[in-house]
Chain A
Amino acid sequence: MREIVELSEKTITIDRNEFLKVKGSIDTNVYYVESGSLRVFVLDDFEEQIVRFGYKENLIVSLDSFLTGKPSDFFIQAIKKTVVQVITKQQIDSFLQKENNRILWVRILENLVLQQLEREVDILTNSPKERFHRILRRSPQLFQEIPNRYIANYLRMSPETLSRLKKS
């Protein structure tokens, strides 16, 4: 991943609650989180549903915009003051001219597909307790980086339920 981050020539700092991306924008950048944390969410009729988090040393991207060049419904908002490095689609495209780099890129995407599968199973898991344990096993760091109310939203349960599960 280092090779990709090194392509970046631009750093953006956003304060807590500020938006890196809003609904409807075409954002084909890949962001590398240097510090801080972000949440990716969708909003319908004023209800938010968190899709993904990004914290230190993660890549974050509106993959739909990145792949299609079309507008994306995702919002990306800083949970606390966050510094990201910007890697543009053009930079990645020219990086992928080399055979070796393409192999690396396919690995990253494969890894992402696996993560998405895990997430799909999360969402389809009925028991809140089981959803909680799946995430805890998979990304214990999440509980250190992200405030409870956001994790609860991500897990599709109330903050009260989450705090009860954390105590049990």
Chain B
Amino acid sequence: MQSEKLLQSFIEETRQLINQAEKLKTRDMDTLTWKGNPVSWNILECLEHLNLYGDFYLPQIEHKIRISRTKSDPDFNSGFLGSYFAKSMLPKEKLNKMKTFKDKNPLNEKLDKRVIDKFISQQIKLLDLLNQSRNVSLNRVKIEISIARFIKLKLGDTFQFFINHSIRHFRQIERIESEIVNQRQPLSV
């Protein structure tokens, strides 16, 4: 795939994530902290989980781009593991549950709306990195993944993986919002 086309699709997906986060900013705290049961996440916890991922990946990506001596490639070819991980992140028709690693689990932390601001500023940072990545090789710059440092993914696959992970949790947020609506307006016979 052409590198520039790929970056354009990442930039567009990031724009949509920012817009969805801006919508969440207008919700009240009751909505943002509602949870169906004690062990599932509320909306802020979903976002904080994404922020923890951002804290891990964004500085690493920035560093790897900065020290890279590669040049931009016209085309990007997804790696075997890279495309496997990226695809595994995308939600299926019926949302498949996935295990969360302990250090990325914000369950029952005290959170407020600043979590949303942090998410948006991370997305702005991501846009910046996507723009910077035009000057390096999406194939040859490698990023260590959070679950196993010895697995390294191509920068292009890492962006896809990272963005798909956010899309996945925004799907979860939509589901939480629909549960809230159902709960507040019980079906009457």
Interfacial residues, chain A to chain B (CB-CB below 8 A)? 14-19, 21-26, 43, 46, 71, 73
Contacts and interface: CB of A to CB of B under 8 A. Distances in A.
Interface in B111-156: 121, 124, 127-128, 130-131, 134
A19 B8 CA distance: 15
A152 B176 CA distance: 40
B124 A43 contact: yes
B51 interface: no
A18 B130 contact: no
Contacts of A18: 18-19, 22-23
A143 to B, nearest CB: 26
A22 B23 contact: no
A161 B8 CA distance: 40
A17 B124 contact: no
Contacts of B8: 25-26, 71
Chain B interface residue count: which class?
A: 20 to 34
8 contacts: A16-B26, A18-B18, A19-B15, A21-B15, A22-B14, A46-B121, A71-B131, A73-B131
Contacts of A24: 7, 11, 127, 130-131
Nearest to B14: A22
B127 to A, nearest CB: 5
Contacts of B4: 71
Contact of B127 (A14, A22, A26, A46): A22
B18 A19 contact: yes
A14 B22 CA distance: 11
Interface centre among A14, A24, A73 (most CB of B within 10 A): A24
Contacts of A26: 8
B179 interface: no
B22 A15 contact: yes
B131 A17 contact: no
Contact of A15 (B15, B23, B128, B130): B23
Closest 6 CB pairs of A and B: A18-B19, A24-B131, A17-B22, A22-B15, A25-B11, A24-B11
Contacts of B15: 19, 21-22, 25
